[in-house]
């Protein structure tokens, strides 16, 4: 039997703990109690839970995140998370029990997937995964990863995936010379993806301006990666004559409209990345200024891999990530949540913004 946290795809605040026959992951792989060929069973040891997962749920239907680990029981879905898993059983040639992997897993205790062996681990090969970007389908064998550091496993689970998004978004802006802007305005500044983006912006030598709630203002301001921090009701006090770009992590139409109207012609570019304000109206009718452009990280990966070669992209990004993890040592507190009740509570805490930005949740069912 396997136990998972499932989320109502029509109302992501509605959850349940569900136990099913472990032979089936819900997509027809290993159904009817039969563990067929070309499949592996993994024990999910732990996974990270951040605002990034709320974006996965909010945009699940639009970006296909519900398709990673389908339940076959609408409207229930499983939110993918970055985590670690141990091989329990395999009918894939060259894949033996006992190995540990890092990749996207469901928020549960076990998962069965259709897979192929690769030189670095596993490849999720199910037909329902064909539309997903390669970065989402890889499981890295930790024994073959030269950068694996057991002491840094929580940091990698919490930060690597979201850092990749932030690094690539900032890289896309930098490639366009920041559209002539001298500062980057970042909504949902308390989210770890936003923190990583602000850090990347500063590393490039530009100003990072964070927009956050009153509750998180003091903590966000203390991080050191933002040159200026203001609350959502203080947007009017920002210097509207400064040329800026805005990166929207919140998905809050009202906030984005305030930014667009405040900066007017001095807003050079508008980029949509996340949707941490899951219950906010995202609509932006008659939005002045540049039309927001949706950011798709795999597209920038493909472009930079073509420009630099995939090895060079990973080298540059990996070096920056190591520096960012060192930066996180000054503020990140690892918090562990174990068991169905604790995992459920943690999900709802993150959904409703009740956790401190400095907490990094590592969960185990």
Write out the DSSP string of 172-224.
Answer: HHHHTGGGG-SEEEESSTTSHHHHHHHHHHHHTT-EEEEEE-TTTHHHHHHSS
Distance of CA 295 to the CA centre of its chain: 13
Write down how long the chain is. 365
Q: State how far the alpha carbon of 20 is from the alpha carbons of 57, 65, 72, 109, in Å.
A: 21, 21, 12, 11
Residues forming beta bridges with residue 42, ordered by sequence position? 87, 111
The pLDDT confidence band at residue 284, using thresholds 50, 70 and 90, is confident
pLDDT, position 254: 94
Q: What is the pLDDT of residue 22?
A: 56
Look over the chain and give the mean of its residue pLDDT values, rounded to a whole number.
Answer: 92
**Coil, helix or strand at residue 5:** strand
On the question of a common fold for 2-148+334-364 and 162-299, the answer reads no
CA torsion, ordered 305, 163, 81, 273, to nearest 10 deg: -80
pLDDT in tens, 160-190: 999 999 999 999 999 999 999 999 999 999 9
CA 50-41-116 angle, 5° bins? 95
**CB neighbour burial string for 16-27, b if at least 16 within 10 angstroms, e if fewer:** ebbebebbbbbb
3-state DSSP assignment of residue 330: coil
- Residue 106: partners with Cβ closer than 8 Å, 6 or more residues away: 4, 25, 44, 68, 69, 78, 79, 80, 81
Distance, in Å, from the CA atom of 272 to the CA atom of 156, rounded to the nearest integer, reads: 24
Q: List CB contacts of 310: < 8 A, sequence separation 6 or more.
A: none
Q: Are 184 and 178 in contact (CB under 8 A)?
A: yes
- 95 neighbors 125 (Cβ within 8 angstroms): no
Tens digit of pLDDT for each residue in 313-361? 989 999 999 999 999 999 999 999 999 999 999 999 999 989 999 999 9
Distance of alpha carbon 357 from the chain centroid: 15
| pTM score of the predicted model | 0.91
Per cent of the chain over pLDDT 70 is 96
Look at residue 55 and tell me whether its pLDDT is greater than 90: no
Location of structure tokens 């990072």: 208
| Strand 183-186 to 207-212 pairing | parallel
CATH superfamily for 162-299 is NAD(P)-binding Rossmann-like Domain (3.40.50.720)
Tell me yes or no: is domain 2-148+334-364 CATH 2.30.30: no
Backbone angles phi, psi at 105, to 5 degrees: -130, 160
Domain ranges across the chain = 2-148+334-364, 162-299
């Amino acid at each position: 039997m396997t136990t998972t946290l499932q989320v109502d795809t029509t109302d992501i605040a509605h959850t349940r703990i569900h136990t099913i026959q472990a032979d089936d992951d819900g997509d027809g792989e290993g159904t009817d109690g039969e563990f067929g060929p070309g499949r592996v069973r993994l024990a999910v040891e732990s996974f990270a839970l951040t605002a990034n997962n709320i974006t996965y749920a909010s945009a699940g239907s639009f970006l296909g995140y519900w398709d990673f680990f389908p339940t076959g029981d609408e409207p229930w879905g499983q939110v993918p998370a970055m985590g670690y898993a141990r091989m329990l059983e395999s009918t894939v040639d060259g894949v033996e029990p006992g190995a540990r992997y890092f990749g996207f897993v469901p928020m549960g205790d076990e998962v069965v997937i259709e897979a192929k062996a690769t030189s670095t681990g596993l490849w999720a090969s199910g037909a329902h995964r064909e539309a997903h970007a390669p970065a989402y389908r890889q499981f890295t064998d930790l024994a073959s990863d030269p950068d694996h550091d057991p002491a840094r496993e929580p940091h990698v689970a919490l930060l690597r995936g979201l850092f990749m998004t932030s690094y690539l978004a900032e890289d896309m802006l930098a490639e366009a010379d920041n559209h002539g802007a001298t500062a980057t305005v970042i909504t949902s500044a308390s989210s770890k993806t936003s923190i990583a983006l602000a850090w990347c912006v500063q590393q490039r030598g530009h100003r990072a301006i964070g927009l956050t709630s009153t509750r998180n203002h003091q903590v966000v301001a203390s991080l050191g990666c933002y040159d200026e921090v203001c609350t959502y009701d203080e947007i009017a006090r920002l210097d509207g004559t400064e040329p800026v770009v805005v990166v929207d992590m919140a998905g809050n139409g009202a906030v984005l409209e305030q930014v667009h109207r405040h900066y007017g012609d001095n807003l050079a570019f508008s980029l949509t990345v996340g949707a941490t304000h899951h219950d906010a109206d995202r609509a932006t009718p008659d939005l002045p200024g540049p039309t927001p452009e949706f950011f798709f990280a795999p597209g920038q990966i493909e472009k930079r891999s073509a420009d630099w070669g995939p090895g060079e992209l990973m080298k540059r990004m990996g070096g920056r990530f190591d520096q960012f993890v060192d930066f996180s040592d000054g503020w990140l507190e690892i918090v562990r949540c174990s068991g169905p009740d604790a995992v459920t509570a943690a999900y709802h805490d993150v959904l409703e913004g009740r956790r401190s930005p400095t907490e990094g949740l590592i969960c185990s069912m």
